[in-house]
């Protein structure tokens, strides 16, 4: 094993953390899964090829071994493999050919499962959403995307204080938060204040996801990168609202 391979794996860690956290719906469980996967890869003598894909593959293999819900999550919902394919291809931008190899499916089968998963996204659980975003045009775009996913937007906050006020008033089921609110404060601080009185899953939207994926305490389970595709937001909201996939 070369030192370059070790360095490549370490550089891939933030993206593996994002994938694992989104899969499990939990920062702590996702990060623990990545840590175990990294240790396993570093102990192996064979090359992983692309370091990021190697970590995705190791995380997926470990997740499949821990979860008893490999075929379906809830009646009428997405299978575990479908969720993996959605996250790999949209959140992580992995080509379908590589994603199929990661989840151990023939490419044609992976393409069919992915198409079916995308068709079922709108059937996901709807909820009330609070958007925290200080840029009006971006906020309008996010609001439209959220509504197109079948959710109800209860408010758009442009500052930390307004976010706390709207959350107290509406008790949202999901929060979409930007990190930098300009003169309005900090999105992470707003979420921390909200969580003192009301819990809801949070998706952070940022141009610098690696800053939120270091493995430190009190980091988000769901992070998407600006600019993002509508499908990416749809998948992230579905995962957040349905709680990821349970581990028994």
Per the domain annotation, does 247 fall within a domain?
no
The per-residue pLDDT for range 69-90, each reduced to its tens digit, is 444 444 347 788 998 999 999 8
CATH number at residue 217: 3.40.50.2300
Close Cβ partners of 68 (under 8 Å, ≥ 6 residues apart): 248
Both tokens of 156, joined, read 């758009």
Q: Which residues, other chains included, contact 241 with Cβ-Cβ below 8 Å and sequence gap of 6+? A: 124, 125, 126, 127, 151, 173, 174, 201
Q: Look at residues 74, 97, 121 and tell me which one is the last residue of a structural domain.
A: 121
Instruction: Quote the CA–CA distance of 196 and 181 in Å, as a whole number.
Output: 20
Q: What is the mean pLDDT of the chain?
A: 83
CB atoms within 10 A of CB 203: 21
Structural domain count, the chain: 2
- For residue 95, is the peptide bond before it cis, meaning its omega torsion is within 30 degrees of 0? no
Position 216 in a domain: yes
pLDDT digits (tens, 9 = 90+) for 175-213: 999 888 888 788 888 999 999 999 888 898 887 777 667
The residue segments making up the domain with residue 234 are 124-242
| Structure-block tokens of residue 126 | 């709807």
Q: 183 CB contacts (<8 Å, ≥6 apart)? A: 159
């Amino acid at each position: 094993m070369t030192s370059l391979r070790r360095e490549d794996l370490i550089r891939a860690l933030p993206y593996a953390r994002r994938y694992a956290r989104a899969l499990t719906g939990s920062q702590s469980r996702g990060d623990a899964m990545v840590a175990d996967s990294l240790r396993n890869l570093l102990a192996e003598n064979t090359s992983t090829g692309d370091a990021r894909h190697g970590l995705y593959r190791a995380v997926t293999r470990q997740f499949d071994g821990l979860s008893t819900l490999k075929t379906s999550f809830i009646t009428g919902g997405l299978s575990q493999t479908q969720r993996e394919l959605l996250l790999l291809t949209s959140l992580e931008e992995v080509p379908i050919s590589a994603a199929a190899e990661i989840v151990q499916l023939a490419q044609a089968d992976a393409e069919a499962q992915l198409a079916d998963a995308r068709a079922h996204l709108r059937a996901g659980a709807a909820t009330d959403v609070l958007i925290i975003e200080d840029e009006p045009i971006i906020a309008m775009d996010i609001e439209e995307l959220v509504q197109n996913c079948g959710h109800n937007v209860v408010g758009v906050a442009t500052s930390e204080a307004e976010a706390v006020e709207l959350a107290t008033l509406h008790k949202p089921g999901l929060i979409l938060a930007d990190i930098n609110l300009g003169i309005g404060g900090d999105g992470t601080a707003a979420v921390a204040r909200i969580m003192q009185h009301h819990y809801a899953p949070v998706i952070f939207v940022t141009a610098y996801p690696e800053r939120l994926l270091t493995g430190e305490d009190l980091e988000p389970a769901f992070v998407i990168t600006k600019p993002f595709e509508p499908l990416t937001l749809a998948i992230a909201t579905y995962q957040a609202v349905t709680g990821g996939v349970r581990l028994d």
